């Protein structure tokens, strides 16, 4: 009897202790939250090393775990992650053309409405450049917010322009001006009889991003890929002309330029071999500032939007990384706290100064640049936002945006190599896109 009673007392005692300990544990667990994010491998590390510690200074109770995924497989991974069961991520960072696909699943939070209660009253949505904020919109909802603004920009090597006796590209620089400058930028600098610096490097090879150059030219001359009913409207004399222009640029590139995509382009410009490069703005730090990756200096590198056409006096294309929160995320509030901090005015100043990513807020872009080298960059981005807004310069806003770019890339490349004429390439691309979109049920 006695033994069983004492055992009962002991049991109660132990249970009480367990409850006491676990309640202490629980209360502290409520304060300490871990959020998980799926992020492009290319900037995951700098986020972990610079961004997260700065965030934790202000919010020490939110631990941020960042999983990097290589760019090529990011979309399928995010799509699988969202659609097959309870999400294991609290936020995902996605590329511009992918957001419609992810938002269309209905599995992302509408940041403006679903999280309105936990949004900082000072968080000013209207301060974002409209063209940038549009990268996170789908069907009237705001499913993500720009964290890493990116635009196609023209980089030029001031030294090479000067040596060729040319004026550097200024306000109102047009496609015709570029065409006039390029032949003079191909030169033999050491007098050995072969050219060793060239006019231009950009996307020419087979890559889903290659058509964006053609699209920028086409858009700046008033063209659009589709009409409101999604009928292709690019197989036109203007579309063909823009494609021919893009193809002709390759004459003034280094040997092998016709296969160039992102990396080759970057390397040729960073090593001072080409005078002009069209590439994404986010490469600026590695092109002009970081001596580990470039042979150039900030003084040497000019940056501006791409040249202008008949409809818009400069051009660009949008490629903004935005952050989204899955509807079923375990800690949406903490994730939103992190994203709000990063995309607030304070956060944008910090990230553009230390992480090398560009702001999307007008107040940041027009305010005082946090670093000297950002003055030119901010100006170029500002002008770029104007251009994309005027010419609707972005990839098709459809769930199957990448599929369309893929088809354009193939036929662009066929025209590039001379396998087919630009006319034929665009006609084939048009037919294939119609078939593809029909198959996906867009015309039902």
Q: What span, in angstroms and rounded, lies between the C-alpha atoms of 280 and 262?
A: 9
CA separation, residue 48 to residues 282, 397, 411, 417 (Å): 18, 31, 39, 42
The residue from 96, 181, 207, 238 that contacts other proteins (CB under 8 A) is 207
User: Token pair of 202, please?
Assistant: 């950009």
- Binding pattern to other proteins, positions 41-60, x when CB under 8 A? xxx-----------------
Q: What span, in angstroms and rounded, lies between the C-alpha atoms of 65 and 89?
A: 10
Q: Given the structure tokens 């100006």, which residue do they identify?
A: 379
CB of 13 to other proteins, least distance (A): 36
CB of 422 to other proteins, least distance (A): 13
Nearest to 266 by CA among 252, 287, 285: 287
258 binds other proteins (CB under 8 A): yes
The residue from 140, 191, 237, 255 that contacts other proteins (CB under 8 A) is 255
Q: What span, in angstroms and rounded, lies between the C-alpha atoms of 80 and 88?
A: 11
- Binding pattern to other proteins, positions 279-298, x when CB under 8 A? -x-xx--x-----xx-x---
First vs last C-alpha separation in the chain: 80
237 binds other proteins (CB under 8 A): no
> Residue 364: exposed, middle, or buried by beta-carbon count in 10 A (0-12, 13-18, 19+)?
buried
189 binds other proteins (CB under 8 A): no
| Residue 123 CB coordination number (10 Å) | 15
191 binds other proteins (CB under 8 A): no
The residue from 350, 414, 426, 437 that contacts other proteins (CB under 8 A) is 414
CB of 135 to other proteins, least distance (A): 16
Phi and psi (nearest 5°) for 427? -65, -45
CB of 282 to other proteins, least distance (A): 6
CB of 95 to other proteins, least distance (A): 8
With beta carbons less than 8 A apart as the criterion, state whether 67 and 368 touch.
no
443 binds other proteins (CB under 8 A): no
413 binds other proteins (CB under 8 A): yes
User: By three-state DSSP, how is residue 155 classified?
Assistant: strand
- Which residues inside 340-399 make contact with other proteins, applying CB under 8 A? 356, 399
Stretch that binds other proteins, among 13-21, 24-32, 61-69, 307-315 (CB under 8 A): 61-69
Cα torsion at 424, 425, 427, 432 (round to 10°)?
140
CB of 375 to other proteins, least distance (A): 21
Q: What span, in angstroms and rounded, lies between the C-alpha atoms of 296 and 293?
A: 9
Stretch that binds other proteins, among 115-123, 178-186, 301-309, 412-420 (CB under 8 A): 412-420
Q: Which of 317/414 has CB closer to other proteins?
A: 414
436 binds other proteins (CB under 8 A): yes
User: Token pair of 396, please?
Assistant: 């098709």
The helices-and-strands tally (H runs, E runs) of the chain is 18, 11
The residue from 4, 27, 30, 263 that contacts other proteins (CB under 8 A) is 263
442 binds other proteins (CB under 8 A): no
CA separation, residue 413 to residues 185, 202, 342, 408 (Å): 25, 13, 39, 8
Q: What span, in angstroms and rounded, lies between the C-alpha atoms of 335 and 111?
A: 11
CB of 254 to other proteins, least distance (A): 5
256 binds other proteins (CB under 8 A): yes
244 binds other proteins (CB under 8 A): no
CB of 222 to other proteins, least distance (A): 29
30 binds other proteins (CB under 8 A): no
Stretch that binds other proteins, among 258-266, 299-307, 339-347, 370-378 (CB under 8 A): 258-266
């Amino acid at each position: 009897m006695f033994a069983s009673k004492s055992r009962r007392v002991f049991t109660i005692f132990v249970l009480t202790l367990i409850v006491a300990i676990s309640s202490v544990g629980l209360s502290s667990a409520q304060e300490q939250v871990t959020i998980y994010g799926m992020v492009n491998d290319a900037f995951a590390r700098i986020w972990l090393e610079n961004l997260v510690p700065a965030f934790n200074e202000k919010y020490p109770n939110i631990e941020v775990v960042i999983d990097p995924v290589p760019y090529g497989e990011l979309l399928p991974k995010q799509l699988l992650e969202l659609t097959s069961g309870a999400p294991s991520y609290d936020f995902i960072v996605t590329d511009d053309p992918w957001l419609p696909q992810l938002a269309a699943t209905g599995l992302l939070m509408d940041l403006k409405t679903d999280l309105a209660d936990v949004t900082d009253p000072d968080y000013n949505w209207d301060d974002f450049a409209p063209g940038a904020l549009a990268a996170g919109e789908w069907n009237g909802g705001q499913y993500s917010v720009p964290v890493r603004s990116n635009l196609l920009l023209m980089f030029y090597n001031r030294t090479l322009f000067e040596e060729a006796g040319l004026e550097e590209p200024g306000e109102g620089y047009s496609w015709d001006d570029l065409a006039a400058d390029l032949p003079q930028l191909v030169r033999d600098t050491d007098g050995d009889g072969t050219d060793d610096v060239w006019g231009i490097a950009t996307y020419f090879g087979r890559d889903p991003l290659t058509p964006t150059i053609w699209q920028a030219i086409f858009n700046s001359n008033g063209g659009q890929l589709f009409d409101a009913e999604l009928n292709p409207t690019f197989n036109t004399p203007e579309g063909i002309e823009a494609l021919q222009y893009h193809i002709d640029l390759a004459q003034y590139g280094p040997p092998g330029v016709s296969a160039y995509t992102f990396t080759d382009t970057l390397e040729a410009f960073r090593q001072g071999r080409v005078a002009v490069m069209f590439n994404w703005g986010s490469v600026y730090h590695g092109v002009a500032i970081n001596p580990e990756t470039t042979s150039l200096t900030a003084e040497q590198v000019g940056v501006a939007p791409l040249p202008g056409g008949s409809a818009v006096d400069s051009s660009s294309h949008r490629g903004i990384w935005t952050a989204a929160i899955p509807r079923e995320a375990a800690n949406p509030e903490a994730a939103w706290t992190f994203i709000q901090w990063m995309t607030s005015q304070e956060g944008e100043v910090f990230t553009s100064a230390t992480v090398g990513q560009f702001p999307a807020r007008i107040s940041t872009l027009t305010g005082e640049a946090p670093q000297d080298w950002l003055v030119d960059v901010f100006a170029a981005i500002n002008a770029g936002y104007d251009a994309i807004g005027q010419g609707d310069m972005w990839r098709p806003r459809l769930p199957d945006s990448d599929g369309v770019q893929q088809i354009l890339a193939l036929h662009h490349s066929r025209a590039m190599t001379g396998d087919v004429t630009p006319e034929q390439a665009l006609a084939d691309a048009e037919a294939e896109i119609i078939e593809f979109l029909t198959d996906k049920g867009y015309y039902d």
